[in-house]
Amino acid sequence: MTTTTETALSAPPRSPFRAWVARRLFRYAVKDLPVTVSFPDGSRIGRGGPLMRVVRPSAFFHRLGAQANIGFGEAYMAGDWTSPDPVAALTPFAARMATLVPRPLQVLRGWVDAHRPATELNTPDGARENIHRHYDLSNDLFEAFLDESMSYSSAWFEPGDDLHTAQLRKIDGILDLAGVTSGSRVLEIGTGWGALAIRAAQRGATVTSLTISVEQQRLARKRVAAAGMTDRVTVNLQDYREAAGTYDAVVSVEMIEAVGEEFWPTYFATLARVLAPGGRVGLQAITMPHDRLLATRRSHNWIQKYIFPGGLLLSVPVIEDQATRAGLRIEDRRSLGPQYAQTLAQWRTRFLAARDRVAAFGFDEVFERLWEYYLAYSEAGFRSRYLDVWQFGLRSSG
């Protein structure tokens, strides 16, 4: 099939000077990392540890010099570098994300970092296009590696849990924070494939669930019908900004990452606007360190280019500030960061085991390497604690 992965197979941009700078900076960054980077001539750098094998050094450093973070990921997609354990190889890089480039040279970030395309701004039309590029890829693709609940967010594991049990615990946790019980009127922002809406309906709630993914709406409605909950769950193809009505509970699981900085105030204002007096919000959000958000908020990285166009993670201070500005207060919170690393590890194992199925869906080998890198890159972020994920319970402060 034709996808943006084709760009990774083209010859990398040629800039001998940038490639030279990239080579020097890469060697500087790796010399103190607990990794082993090997080259075709037999040379190695790093303090020793997980192996990263640079197969085509010239292409690797030209990509790195041209687009830094984006080039590093594209080099993996193209096969310029590989690893028998990409998560282990990437984790030391994630742990030192803020210091890989020497501080005096960080002022050059604007020279090497790509900038976000204006077309990825999450206006109502832009958000639909951004979501379409990921969630409308293929329901079959997601079914190949998710558990039977089709939950595409961090699970909450306890000892002995399989993935499905842990996903249901996560859903119950966010429903509890939102106070969802029998008779609750619930608004869900971000349907996924219907698991949370079905679980809330099984508690006796009535649910209005919003998605802007055509494929998600189609399968979610089918799953709601199969669960016998069509009288309690309505799945609308609708932007969160168009939400109407009043609800006892609002729940939103890992959708806020797709909102975009320009629309954070609108998102939180929407939560406050539709919440009934005494109502509660259950919010699950992936976060990054606040200083790294400030340093990278204008940049365009590999995840944004290939996985979540228009996406931007928040920090906990930003969530606290935006909630306060909207008249909401955070009453409860729990971190599930290590749980996300475990979730991603299971997704990656399942995805790799389903390679034949993925190929049969029409996705090429470069796409498979793209997704392997995405899952490994994300897991490394959580294993290093560079990334975290939180469940928040909010209530109107009025």
Per-residue pLDDT tens listing for the chain (398 residues): 334 455 446 777 788 999 999 999 999 999 999 999 999 999 999 999 999 999 999 999 999 999 889 999 999 999 999 999 999 999 999 998 877 765 555 555 554 556 678 788 999 999 989 888 888 889 999 999 999 999 999 999 999 999 999 999 999 999 999 999 999 999 999 999 999 999 999 999 999 999 999 999 999 999 999 999 999 999 999 999 999 999 999 999 999 999 999 999 999 999 999 999 999 999 999 999 999 999 888 889 999 999 999 999 999 999 999 999 999 999 999 999 999 999 999 999 999 999 999 999 999 999 999 999 999 999 999 999 999 999 999 999 76
List pLDDT tens digits, range 256-281. 999 999 999 999 999 999 999 999 99
> Residue for token digits 């900038």?
115
CA–CA separation, 376 and 102 (whole Å): 25
Q: Are 170 and 283 in contact (CB under 8 A)?
A: no
Q: Are 221 and 228 in contact (CB under 8 A)?
A: no
Tokens of 101: 């480039």
Q: 118-396: CATH homologous superfamily?
A: Vaccinia Virus protein VP39 (3.40.50.150)
Q: For position 368, what pLDDT does the model report?
A: 95
Q: What is the pTM of this model?
A: 0.94
| Domain extents in the chain | 6-115, 118-396
Q: Is 54 helix (H, G, I), strand (E, B) or coil?
A: strand
| Angle formed at CA 233 by CA 231 and CA 234, multiple of 5 degrees | 105
List pLDDT tens digits, range 327-380. 999 999 999 999 999 999 999 999 999 999 999 999 999 999 999 999 999 999
Query: What region does 183 belong to: left with phi over 0, alpha with psi -120 to 50, or beta?
Result: left
Look at the alpha carbons of 214, 215, 220, 221 in this order and tell me if their dihedral is positive or negative.
positive
Q: For position 4, what pLDDT does the model report?
A: 44
CA–CA separation, 35 and 86 (whole Å): 11
Cβ neighbours of residue 45 closer than 8 Å, sequence gap 6 or more: 27, 30, 31, 36, 37
